[in-house]
Amino acid sequence: GAWALMLRDTPTLGIYFVTYEWLCRQSTPEGQSPSSASVLVAGGFAGILSWAVATPLDVIKSRMQMAGLKH
């Protein structure tokens, strides 16, 4: 089950952090810290995108885990 979990989480966390960082940089002027609103919006959109990828992978992970219980 651990391999299935890693196969699900690695790409989705990568997508989350890359998207979050890119959105924060796009919405923040050079040399300034991102505002609370920018952080909130970037985190929300990054979460939506990462879970859009994670949900099908989670189904595969669950099926792999259930198949392991049958043996």
Spatial distance between the Cα atoms of 6 and 61, rounded to a whole number of angstroms: 9
- The tens-digit pLDDT sequence of the chain (71 residues) is 678 788 888 989 999 999 999 999 999 999 999 999 999 999 999 999 999 988 988 888 888 888 877 76
- Residues 59-69, buried b or exposed e (16+ Cβ, 10 A)? eebeeeeeeee
Q: What pTM did the predictor assign?
A: 0.77
Query: The tokens of 32 are what?
Result: 């300034």
